Structure formats: structure tokens, C-alpha cells
Amino acid sequence: MPFFKMNKQLIFAGLMIAFIINHGYSQTILNKQNIENALNDAFNKFKDLKEGKNADYIKELANVDPNIFGIALVTADGAVYTKGDITSMVSIQSISKVFTMAKVIEQEGSQFLQDKIGVNATGLPFNSIVAVEMHKGDKINPLVNPGAIATTSLIRGNDSIAKWKEIQKIQSDFAGRQLSINRPVYISEASDNLRNQAIAHLLLAYNRIYFDPVQATDLYTKQCALNVNVKDLAIMAATLANGGVNPVTKNKVVSQTTVMYTLPVMATAGLYDNSGIWLFNSGLPAKSGVGGGMLAICPGKFGIAVISPPLDESGNSLKAQKVIQYVVEKLKVNPYWIEPK
């Protein structure tokens, strides 16, 4: 064999070894085929799972079809992958808290959020009054009801109408289309949300709400009633995964700094009092809502979302957690899964 040819082969082999050492041969490449396989496998594996129960403390949610099951994954460069039901809409519920919080960070800065609301996880259920009382309205978290209602009250605007415009706009910008309210869900919750009103008034007693408590609760209830399909949720997640730029519309929605402060709150409090278990098993910042939606962010790579209304005891979609965890494992994208050098 001529020397230069042998040399070429040696160089190639050397490069391959260097690649394997550097990148870890077992790392799954995020290409079309692998993503589609992961979504298909997850869908088939969990489609017949019948555990969990729709939320029913908001009466209208009990009427949502429990068989809705859709998965969407949107990469940071805007490729959209879907499986199952991508047309059914559910109310966004608690997932909206992430984007209103992001708006407050964007407008006022992270220190402001930390001072006016707090960012430690309460470790208590999402609608806990004890959580407010325990710290006298201090140190509430933007991703559970007391902190979320107070966060809503911080959105700029002279009146409720102006504030609502801002809230609807930020949620829509993340989704890349104009989101609108699911009226029956809004009316159902608004006529029955005495507990959230009590929380808002207790916050007022501690000077920890920054707008009229009745109107702030109403704004919060409206934002929770925004209708989304699974693709909307995945695009919202992908916008965070892509440093604040919506990868589909290419619009900058929030800054990288805002994303940097948003994701840790999701990691520590995104799944109510089950957040620790979720993070332990997936490593990803995520958020669920009692409407049955859930999204998770794989920073720099993709956003993933699932809609399946039956919930576990903490209020998180059962199937969604299983699907996302499965996809994370299959694609080996848990950020704490580290290839030794």
C-alpha cells in the first residue's frame, strides 16, 4: 500500500477515535430519525395507560375528553415533530405562569422578582394558603397560585384591560400565534375561584400583591383559560430552549438573561410538590397545568410538550410525565448525563 494512502487511513482512524472520545459514541444524535422514533415509541408505549383523573375542582375541566393524547417536539432551529392528537385544545392553566413570570423578569429584572415575589419552592400544594401564612406573604413562588396571582399583578398597565393585553401578548408571542380564551373554562373557574380570591386578599393583608386583588385574580384566571394545542406548548417551550427567540416565527420574545432566570424556577417548582421527583428523574426544567398539558425544556436543543388530561395526585398529567421522561432517556438529553473525557 502506498505510504500516502496508508497515511490517509491512519489519519481517518485517528480522527474517528478522537471523535468517539470527545463525543461519546453512545450519545444519541438529535436527527429526524431518532426524534421520530423516540416520539413514536413513547406514543405506542403509553397510549393505553388509563391511570389518573381529570381535574374536577374546575367543573368544566371534568368534561374534557380524557383520551386526548398528543406529543410535540420543536427543536431550537424550528423543526416541528408531532405524534397523535395535535388539534385538540385544552386550557393552558398553570403553564401560563411561566410566561407571565418571564415577562416580569424581562421588564423589571430578576432581582425585582426575587424581592417582590420570591423564588424558593414552597414544597406545598399549588393552591396552599398555609404557604402564604407561613411566611407572611413573603417568599411565595411565581409558579404556584399565590406567587402567580401576585406576579400577574406586577404586569405593567394602568388598568385591567391594559394588563390583560400585555399578558395575552406575551403568551401569544411565545406560542407564535394569537391565543384566545376558552370561555366555558374561564366562566366555570371565575364563578368558583373563592380560594384564589382568598389567597389574593391574604396577600393584600401582607402587602404582597400589587394591584386590586379581585382584578388580579380575574386576570390570572383569564390567563389560565387560554386555549392551546400541543404544538403551541412545544413552540412555547422551544422559545425558552432557544434563548428567548421563537424558533418558528424567528421573533425575539425575551432576552437570554430572562430565560436564564426563568428555567431554574421551572426546575425547582414546575411540577408542584412533585418538582424534586421530576427533576431527579428527568433533569429538565418543566411546567405542568391542571388542564392536562405539560412542557419541558432541553436547553439549546428542543422544547417538548404533551397533552393528556388525566392527572396524578399533585396535579400533573400522568402520561405527559411518562412520555417526556421516556423521550429524555431515549435521546439521552438529561443535562446531568455526562460523558467522561
Alpha helices in the chain (DSSP H): 3-23, 32-46, 96-108, 110-116, 130-134, 145-153, 160-175, 183-190, 194-205, 213-224, 230-241, 256-269, 275-282, 318-331
Residue 290 assigned to a binding site? yes
Residue 143 has phi, psi (to 5 degrees) of: -100, 5
Which of 141, 145, 151, 171 is in the footprint of ligand GLU by CB under 6 A? 145
- Binding string, 18-47, against ligand GLU, x = CB under 6 A? ------------------------------
Q: Hey, is 53 helix, strand or coil? A: strand
Residue 40 assigned to a binding site? no
From CA 264, how far away is CA 251, in angstroms rounded? Answer: 23
Interacting positions 115-144 with ligand GLU (CB under 6 A): 126-127
> By C-beta, is 105 or 224 nearer to ligand GLU?
224
Question: Residue 254's CB: how many other CB atoms inside 10 A?
Answer: 24
> 181, 159 in Cβ contact below 8 A?
no
From CA 63, how far away is CA 41, in angstroms rounded? Answer: 29
Shortest distance (Å) from residue 330 CB to ligand GLU: 28
Residue 186 assigned to a binding site? no
315 binds ligand GLU (CB under 6 A): yes
Which of 117, 131, 224, 304 is in the footprint of ligand GLU by CB under 6 A? 224
> By C-beta, is 110 or 141 nearer to ligand GLU?
141
C-alpha gyration radius of the chain: 21
Interacting positions 71-110 with ligand GLU (CB under 6 A): 93-94
Q: Which residues bind ligand GLU (CB under 6 A)?
A: 93-94, 126-127, 145, 189, 196, 224, 289-290, 315
Residues in binding site: 94, 145, 189, 196, 220, 272, 290
